[in-house]
Structure 1
Amino acid sequence: MAQIEKLFDPTGAAVDVAEAALAPRPTSLSGLTVGLLDNTKPNATVLLEELAEVLKRDHGVAATKLYTKDYFGTPMTTELRDQLAAECDVVVTAIGDCGSCSAATVADGILLERAGKPAASICTDSFSPSGNAMAEVQGFPGYDFATIAHPVASLDVEQIRSRVQEALPQILRILGVER
């Protein structure tokens, strides 16, 4: 007989599962400020900077702001969440390419949604189970996040650009943007 196991948050964060609704979505990114949350993993900055260029060039984003977390394996601080919510219209978090950082990247997206900001988190396909588990632990089962091919850390700039192109349609869909 199969036994149901309890899921635990590998980041050690306290869980408030009171709210599992997405923040209101924009219909366009034109004129908006997009926050980019770098979790300090190798190539996260490069990936987010490449994404910023595409969003500005092809989707009319007015500005992008890069923020950096203290540590990739835990969710962002309350102070950083509040800063992102105050300064940005939407946020993209990256990159989940290991177990704890994938869980934390998804948790960051959920924290932003609960703060009223649409968010798209990016994880690699090898660690999407970790992201899905975090969504469940956070009381947000089925939370949608972008998945790109693993790995990211060892890629050159051209390969990162390819990953951005892979993530872009997912990010736009998650943010509710009409293409």
Structure 2
Amino acid sequence: MIDPTGRPPAEATGPRRAARPERLEGLVVGLVANPKKNAEQFLDAVGDLLAAEHGIADVVRTRKTSITDPIPPATLDELAQRCDVVLIGVGDCGSCSAAAVADGIAFEAAGVPAAVICTDAFRVSADAMARLQGSPGYAYVTTAHPVAPLDEAGVRERARQALSDVLELLVQAPVPVAAR
């Protein structure tokens, strides 16, 4: 597979994950949407749920201008400075799924926990990009394909369905009682 971001293949090191917070309460969440239809709406719906149910302090939104290009370095740097965690998506085609995973890996390398959302039809593209970026097995959230034709209620329902998986990727896993 050719990397659509134009980056050279990375040495395989396994999934890299930034340190996770214990909870999202009081934190700033970055939303990195691609220009696909309903991507911003989906991420906004997840952001609304995080605010209502998990007490996030603020949301910082950005929209990429291309579904295939990596997030611009200046935008990545700005979000890494302003946000405690980021949510990236929605990968609703092969190219945007691959680019979303590349962006997630870039945020993780910058020390910012990321949750990437892709539709289930493009796992192959997302997994291939993770391997190309040197992070085979990189974890991301999947939602049913497609997202683009959904109406507002459908987008909100999909966001609700993805919420627990998003939280699993963004927040430190609790220590089981027996291990304490």
TM superposition score normalised by structure 2? 0.91
Kindly report the root-mean-square deviation, in angstroms, between the aligned alpha carbons of the 2 structures: 1.6
Alignment size in residue pairs: 173
Where does residue 122 of structure 2 map in the other structure? 127
State the identity as a percent: 46
Compute the displacement of 1:175 (Å): 1.0
Where does residue 42 of structure 2 map in the other structure? 47
Where does residue 178 of structure 2 map in the other structure? none
Instruction: Give distance in 1, aligned partners of 2:164 and 2:118.
Output: 14
Compute the displacement of 1:15 (Å): 4.2
Q: Which runs of 5+ in 2 are unaligned?
A: 175-180
Instruction: Give distance in 2, aligned partners of 1:157 and 1:114.
Output: 34
- Describe the shift of the 1:133–1:167 C-alpha distance in structure 2 as closer, same or farther (beyond 3 A): same
On the 8 A contact 1:11/1:100 being kept in 2, the answer is no
Tell me which of 168, 174, 178 is aligned to 1:173: 168
Which deviations, in whole Å up to 9, do the C-alpha atoms of 1:72-105 show, x marking residues without a partner?
A: 1121111111011011000000110111100000
Instruction: Give distance in 2, aligned partners of 1:144 and 1:23.
Output: 12
- Describe the shift of the 1:102–1:82 C-alpha distance in structure 2 as closer, same or farther (beyond 3 A): same
Tell me which of 144, 151, 157 is aligned to 1:156: 151
Compute the displacement of 1:70 (Å): 2.1
Where does residue 61 of structure 2 map in the other structure? 66
Where does residue 107 of structure 1 map in the other structure? 102
The amino acid across from 1:25 in the alignment is R
- Please tell me whether residue 10 in structure 1 is matched to residue 35 in structure 2: no
